Amino acid sequence: MSKTDTTNEADILPARVIEVVKVPAFPPPVPEDATLRREHEALLQMWPELLQTHYGQYVAIHDGQVVESGPDKFAVARNAYKRYGYIPIYVHLVTDQPQPVERIPSLGRRPMETAP
């Protein structure tokens, strides 16, 4: 049998169209603290705009508004605390790339020592 004997125009189907849904870029994790959770929700509302205006910057959110921003996380937090006092302020990097998980041990807890 030749190739022309087994294939005809009726066998050729059009390519299937697959709809691609754009997923929001790596939203930050939800904090447990109620105040920070409200600031987190405000951040999520602003997220699409922040990706356009503050991409690659850290933002400090207080009372639902961006109150500080910049490339250094600790400087952004420090400046926000200077302006508003040492209260819960949500600081997060605006990016669409996944970030490594950071684990920072508390200075207040020390490993339990075993008795001799």
Tens of pLDDT, residue by residue over 38-58, are 999 999 999 999 999 999 999
- 106 within some domain: no
**Residues spanned by the domain of 62:** 34-93
Section 55-64 average pLDDT? 95
| Domain-located, residue 45 | yes
Q: Would residue 38 count as lying in a domain?
A: yes
d(CA 116, CA 114): 6
**Is there a domain that residue 47 lies in?**
yes
**How many alpha carbons lie under 13 Å from residue 12 in its C-beta half-sphere?**
4
Write out pLDDT tens, residues 84-114: 998 889 999 999 887 666 655 555 555 555 4
Q: What confidence score (pLDDT) does residue 14 get?
A: 73
Is 27 part of any domain? no
The count of domains in the chain is 1
Tell me whether residue 80 is in a domain.
yes
Q: Please give the Cα distance from 28 to 61 (Å, whole number).
A: 13
The answer to the question of residue 76 being in a domain is yes
Q: Is residue 64 part of a domain?
A: yes
Distances (CA, A) of 3 to 8, 11, 14, 42, 109: 9, 13, 20, 63, 76
